Amino acid sequence: MKKALICLLTATVATLTHADEVQVAVAANFTGPMQVIAPLFERDTGHKAVLSYGATGKFYAQVVNGAPFEVLLAADDETPARLVREGHGVAGSAFTYAIGTLVLWSANPDLVDARGEILKKGGFRHLAIANPKTAPYGAAALQAMGKLGVAESLKPLFVQGENISQTQQFVATGAAELGFIAYSQVIKNGRIGTGSGWIVPGQLHEPIRQDAVILAKGRDKVAALALMAYLKGDKAKGVIRSFGYELPQP
């Protein structure tokens, strides 16, 4: 009994000794999934992910200026690639962890039709969109409106959010009657949970390939490597799918 207790204590101390912490910059659209994944990651590995949420473009500027982030979960694939090219990311570490889905959403259950025709019909005063210069979902929304031929006519109605979370808040609170947000923000049980929405067809915009990358400050961090491996595992993939994301083909 005593010997077994000593072995248990030794194993516990060893686990704690090797437990690590990783500072993670998370694209705002991935807030929901990461809030589920982070505690699973800590439970399963002993490592802790300390999360900060925001716009990918702003995270880029912060990383370049010395922010202490060790992993970036971006809302695009261009920013991680750029960080690697510029020496701020670890070469060979980037991979696509999710492919995002854009949705036109309103808190009003009767406003947005199933084909998005409201964009052409009008009848609203404000349309929320994330800053297309820093938020890839905002750029995708502009592309979609451009292909639909409504971008210029709707531009005067834009209410611009700093990131996709703020954009969703504009719509949820009524500051804008409708807006382009991430499907992950409103999905519930495999469908739009409240309000009304139109899932924007993927052919209307470039694929929203979301890449993760180990940043220079996380190069030698055990927890950074562990998190990247965890995101590739079945448990994390299940969470990601449940929030309406697609996964890259193997």
Q: Is residue 1 part of a domain?
A: no
| Residue range 148-164, pLDDT digits in tens | 999 999 999 999 999 99
> For residue 155, what pLDDT is reported?
97
Q: Are residues 32 and 113 in the same domain?
A: no
Q: Span 191-201, mean pLDDT?
A: 96
228 is a domain residue = yes
Is the distance from CB of 212 to CB of 94 less than 8 angstroms?
yes
pLDDT tier at 9, thresholds 50, 70, 90: very low
Q: Report the 10 Å Cβ neighbour count for 206.
A: 14
In a domain, residue 58? The reply is yes
Helix (H) or strand (E) holding 38: helix 31-45
Parallel, antiparallel, or unpaired: how do β-strands 95-100 and 208-214 relate? antiparallel
Residue 170 belongs to domain spanning? 102-199
Any domain includes 249: no
| Same domain flag for 106 and 195 | yes
Asked whether residue 149 falls in the same domain as residue 163, the answer is yes
Residue pLDDT, tens place only, 94-138? 999 999 999 999 999 999 999 999 999 999 999 999 999 989 999
Whether residue 168 contacts residue 139, with contact meaning beta carbons closer than 8 Å, is answered with no
- On whether both 71 and 53 belong to a single domain, the answer is yes
pLDDT attached to residue 90: 98
Residue 6 lies in a domain: no
DSSP assigned state of 246: B
For residue 10, tell me if it sits in a domain: no
How far apart (Å, rounded) are the C-alpha atoms in residues 85 and 51? 24
CA distance 119 to 105: 11
11 located within any domain: no
Residue % of the chain over a pLDDT of 90: 89
Residues 189, 119 share a domain:
yes
Specify the CATH number for the domain of residue 228.
Answer: 3.40.190.10
In a domain, 12, yes or no: no
The pLDDT value recorded for residue 12 is: 38
Same domain membership, residue 108 and residue 68: no
Number of domains, the chain: 2
Residues 54 and 171 in one domain: no
* Each residue's pLDDT tens digit, 36-91: 999 999 999 999 999 999 999 999 999 999 999 999 999 999 999 999 999 999 99
The answer to whether residues 31 and 152 belong to one domain is no
Regarding whether 118 and 156 lie in a shared domain, the answer is: yes
The enclosing H or E element of 104 equals strand 102-106
- pLDDT above 50 for 17: no
pTM for this predicted structure: 0.86
Specify whether the CB–CB gap between 130 and 55 falls below 8 A. Answer: yes
Query: Are 174 and 137 contained in the same domain?
Result: yes
Which residues touch 61 (CB under 8 Å, ≥6 apart)?
none
Same domain, 82 and 149: no
Q: Is 238 found in the same domain as 227?
A: yes
